[in-house]
């Protein structure tokens, strides 16, 4: 090769590397400003404020991305009404929504399985299914026709049955009861004669206090005490049959997601996974302290539902789930995956967790 040709190729290579550098730099320095709405009001602990909340998630993403992805967080009613996050993300009005998938029952029945299933898995089992049992992949398959993806970003752990103005002694006591309860559990209660209502968190206390509803389920001792539900009803049933593990959903517009560089996508995924674990840990501490206060200082009667009532709820749950899978192939696909994983997890849990509680703790 001639000296002139070698010099030409060398200069071309150097020029190419110099010209290429800004392209890489631009991709890594591009900034994105997104909006995230929530189904919960501004200042709500767990959901909007505190460890693992929507605000905390946005902060983690901003810090991990060195300010390349900034997310402005809006509580329910600030930008859109509480239960319009699905439509807002689908339309691209906002890039993200922080809520629970069972609010979108009217859009797709399969979404409910990604929040909680009555008599379903606990926090450990749910995470096992989502992260390693194909759950998240199915979640995204459910939302694909709507142009969205989702991932877990929080978990309350076991929730309480809820607050009742009158004592529940038999199944007959449920008939005609007006109760705030969302998701699959609402359908189960409806089968037993309950007049089911779905209300945003901020509307529960006034409705319960004024007698618009007779009973209400929200989250757990800390969240319920904050809303003042113990001031409107004194019977607190603790059987966590309906939501043994309640997942918070980060819903994302797929077109917006695809525009993010891979490293920012990884940051969002990892920050969401962190908040999933951190929020549940926060709930364990907050709920244990709040429950003690409710019983010792607030005059609350806390106890499990009667066995007869739990048996009836389980029977109706089986019917509701059977009806759901017959109506929709996608729901059946999700259902079969969930319960196949649950069967394996239950067998392992009997050997591990249950053995520990029975033999070790006594």
CA distance 47 to 153: 10
Kindly report the pTM of this predicted structure. Answer: 0.88
- Domain membership flag for residue 233: no
**Is the pLDDT at 21 greater than 60, yes or no?**
no
- For residue 140, give its domain range: 32-155+245-285
CATH number at residue 255: 3.40.190.170
- Domain membership flag for residue 1: no
Is residue 35 within 8 Å of 92, Cβ to Cβ?
A: no
Per-residue model confidence (pLDDT) at position 218 = 95
Per-residue model confidence (pLDDT) at position 17 = 41
Q: Between 210 and 23, whose confidence is greater?
A: 210
Average pLDDT, the chain: 92
**Is the pLDDT at 178 greater than 90, yes or no?**
yes
Query: Furthest-apart CA pair in the chain: how many Å?
Result: 98
Q: Between 5 and 262, whose confidence is greater?
A: 262
Q: How many domains does the chain have?
A: 1
CA distance 113 to 119: 12
- Domain membership flag for residue 330: no
- Domain membership flag for residue 7: no
**Is the pLDDT at 23 greater than 50, yes or no?**
no
Beta-bridge partners for 99: 249
**Is the pLDDT at 232 greater than 70, yes or no?**
yes
**Is the pLDDT at 171 greater than 90, yes or no?**
yes
Q: Burial, 87: exposed, middle or buried (Cβ in 10 Å; 0-12, 13-18, 19+)?
A: middle
CA distance 7 to 97: 56
- pLDDT tens-place string over residues 257-287: 999 999 999 999 999 999 999 999 999 999 9
- Domain membership flag for residue 218: no
For 136, the 3-state DSSP assignment is helix
Per-residue model confidence (pLDDT) at position 356 = 74
- Domain membership flag for residue 177: no
- pLDDT tens-place string over residues 188-213: 999 999 999 999 998 999 999 999 99
- Domain membership flag for residue 333: no
Per-residue model confidence (pLDDT) at position 181 = 95
CA distance 180 to 207: 9
**Is the pLDDT at 291 greater than 50, yes or no?**
yes
- Domain membership flag for residue 67: yes
- pLDDT tens-place string over residues 82-98: 999 999 999 999 999 99
Is residue 155 within 8 Å of 272, Cβ to Cβ?
A: no
Of 42-46, 173-177, 281-285, least confident by mean pLDDT is 42-46
């Amino acid at each position: 090769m001639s000296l002139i040709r070698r010099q030409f190729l060398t200069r071309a290579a150097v020029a190419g590397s110099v010209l290429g550098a800004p392209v890489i730099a631009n991709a890594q320095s591009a900034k994105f400003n997104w909006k995230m709405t929530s189904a919960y009001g501004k200042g709500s602990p767990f959901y909007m404020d505190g460890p693992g909340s929507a605000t905390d998630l946005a902060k983690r993403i901003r810090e991990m991305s060195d300010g390349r992805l900034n997310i402005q967080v809006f509580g329910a009613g600030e930008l859109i009404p509480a239960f319009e996050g699905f439509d807002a993300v689908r339309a691209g009005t906002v890039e993200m929504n922080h809520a629970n998938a069972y609010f979108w029952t009217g859009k797709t029945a399969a979404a409910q399985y990604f929040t909680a299933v009555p008599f379903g898995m606990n926090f450990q089992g749910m995470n096992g299914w989502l992260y390693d049992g194909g759950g998240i992949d199915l979640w995204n398959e459910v939302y694909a026709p709507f142009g969205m993806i989702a991932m877990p970003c929080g978990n309350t752990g076991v929730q309480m049955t809820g607050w009742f103005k009158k004592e529940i002694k038999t199944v007959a006591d449920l008939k005609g009861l007006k109760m705030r309860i969302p998701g699959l559990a609402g359908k189960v209660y409806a089968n037993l004669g309950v007049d089911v209502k779905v209300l945003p968190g901020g509307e529960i206390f006034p409705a319960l206090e004024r007698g618009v509803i007779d009973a209400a389920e929200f989250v757990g001792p800390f969240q319920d005490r904050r809303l003042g539900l113990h001031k409107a009803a004194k019977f607190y049933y603790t059987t966590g049959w309906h939501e043994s593990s309640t997942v918070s959903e980060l819903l994302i517009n797929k077109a917006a997601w695809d525009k993010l560089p891979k490293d920012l996508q990884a940051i969002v995924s990892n920050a969401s996974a962190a908040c999933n674990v951190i929020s549940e840990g926060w709930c364990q501490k907050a709920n244990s302290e709040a429950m003690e206060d409710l019983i010792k200082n607030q005059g609350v009667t806390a106890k499990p539902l009667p066995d007869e009532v739990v048996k009836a709820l389980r029977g109706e749950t089986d019917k509701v789930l059977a009806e759901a899978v017959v109506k929709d192939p996608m729901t059946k696909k999700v259902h079969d995956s969930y319960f196949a994983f649950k069967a394996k997890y239950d067998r392992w849990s009997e050997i591990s967790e249950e053995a520990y509680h029975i033999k070790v703790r006594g």
